Amino acid sequence: MNVNRNAPIALFIYNRPDHTQQTLEALQCCTGFKESPLYIFCDGPKTEGDPSVKAARDIAKCMMGDKAVFVEANINQGLANSIIKGVSRLCDEYGKVIVLEDDLLVAPAFLMYMNDAFRRYEHEAKVMQISGHMFSVPEFVGKEEAFFLPFTTSWGWGTWKRAWDSFDLEAMGWNQLKDEKKIRCKFNLDDSYNYYAMLEKQMTGKIDSWAIRWYWSVFKQNGLVLYLPTSLVNNIGFDGSGTHGWRSAKITNTKQKPTKIYAQQYEFPDTLEVNDNAFKSVKKTLRNAGTGYISKAFHMIRRIFKK
């Protein structure tokens, strides 16, 4: 196994050169970027000779040069397969990985936070993911202490091999949610959001999502995910440029910019358990989803997991 102080970064790109450039520019501003191995996974074109696929690769190579290891697919694998393969490869090689996609802008403290959290919870089997993204929750304004929640996210995250080894491609046992109301309620964050409907769509072939299967895998292990109260990640992909139709939706989080934190301004929890107050605030936000600002968080959850 390759031993490196900083976790490797896996960046997944496809056919959006402008977004790729912005993502890399933000990443370059992160403390610790120079010391972090970078792997850029380039998915293959759906149609032969797609110029946008080549353009995205060209701009990444121009910007990164020998800094990055480029893994270029000749045929289109799809986002789910690409991420599963890439994350598995780097977990096997390094024991941990930070995962980004080509429409995510990160704050300057993103890598520092991720690597600090990796070191802090490296040997805590219950902690299965570190998240750099948090949608806007009114009660979190002005807070700095990180906390644990019992569900995952896919916008700027990281994990260890010990946790990723529990990833269940087949989502074994998922159908128990249909008949066991209490378990389904818990999976749906006490009926705050219908994650079960997404998992059912995945298992019946209606969507192709690695993210909902990852959440189910963490859920089965009673795993914890570390979050900050303020997001260090902003998604700029809601402009119709993505490969998934849902990316073109009008309700976006584009006004939610990542906090420009440069120094360590966060505190990590010592107790390995769900923060009940934070969890109540998140569930309240989801349950109050209706119109305007709060509805963006609700629709954001749906888009996060349709990947």
- 182-223: pLDDT as tens digits: 999 999 999 999 999 999 999 999 999 999 999 999 999 999
CB 230 within 8 A of CB 140: yes
Please give the average per-residue pLDDT across 129-146, as a whole number: 93
pLDDT of res. 293: 40
263, pLDDT greater than 80: no
Q: What is the DSSP letter of 243?
A: S
Residues paired with residue 225 on neighbouring β-strands, in sequence order: 129, 149
Q: What residues contact 166, with CB distance under 8 A and at least 6 apart?
A: 128, 217, 218, 220, 221, 223
Q: Where do runs of H (alpha helix) occur along 95-137?
A: 110-120
Residue 211 sits at the vertex; the CA angle it makes with 2 and 37, to the nearest 5 degrees, is 25
> What is the structure's pLDDT at 1?
75
Q: What's the rounded Cα separation, in Å, for the pair 259 and 256?
A: 9
Q: What distance in Å separates the CA atoms of residue 292 and residue 223, rounded to the nearest whole number?
A: 32
Backbone dihedral angles phi then psi of residue 147, each to the nearest 5 degrees: -150, 165
Residue 3, in any domain of the structure: no
Ramachandran class of 276: left when φ > 0, alpha when ψ lies in -120 to 50, beta otherwise: alpha
Instruction: Evaluate whether 286 touches 298 at the Cβ level (below 8 Å).
Output: yes
Average pLDDT over residues 60-85: 97
Q: CA Rg, the chain, in Å?
A: 18
- The per-residue pLDDT for 292 is 41
pLDDT of 38 strictly over 70: yes
The C-alpha atoms of residue 53 and residue 243 are separated, in whole angstroms, by 12
When comparing pLDDT for 301 and 226, which is higher?
A: 226
Q: What percent of the chain has pLDDT over 90?
A: 79
Question: Which range is least confidently modeled, 13-17, 156-160, 246-250?
Answer: 246-250
Give the pLDDT mean for 120-147: 95
Q: pTM higher than 0.85 for the full model? A: yes
pLDDT at 133: 94
pLDDT at 295 > cutoff 50: no
Q: How confident is the model at residue 300 (pLDDT cuts 50, 70, 90)?
A: low
Question: Which of 278 and 301 is assigned the larger pLDDT?
Answer: 278
CATH number for the domain that contains residue 234: 3.90.550.10
Per-residue pLDDT averaged across 33-52, rounded? 95
What are phi and psi for residue 159, nearest 5 degrees?
Answer: -155, 170
> Residue 182 burial by CB count (10 A; 0-12/13-18/19+): exposed, middle or buried?
exposed
- Identify the pLDDT of residue 175: 94
Q: What is the pLDDT of residues 12-23, one digit of tens each?
A: 999 999 999 999
d(CA 113, CA 225): 14
Measure the CA–CA gap between 53 and 72, rounded to whole angstroms.
10
Instruction: Give how many domains the chain has, as a whole number.
Output: 1
User: Does residue 123 sit within a domain?
Assistant: yes
Burial track 136-168 (b if 16+ CB lie within 10 A, e otherwise): bbeebeebeebbbbbbbbbbbbbbbbbbbeebe
Phi then psi dihedrals of residue 293, to 5 deg: -60, -45
User: Does a structural domain hold residue 4?
Assistant: no
pLDDT at 286: 84
Domain that holds residue 74: 9-305
2 is a domain residue: no
Q: Indicate whether 184 belongs to any domain.
A: yes
pLDDT of residue 289: 65
Q: Mean pLDDT in the chain?
A: 88
Task: Indicate if the pLDDT at residue 297 is higher than 90.
Answer: no
Torsion angle, alpha carbons of 253, 289, 173, 221, to 10? 70
Residue at 291: amino acid letter: T
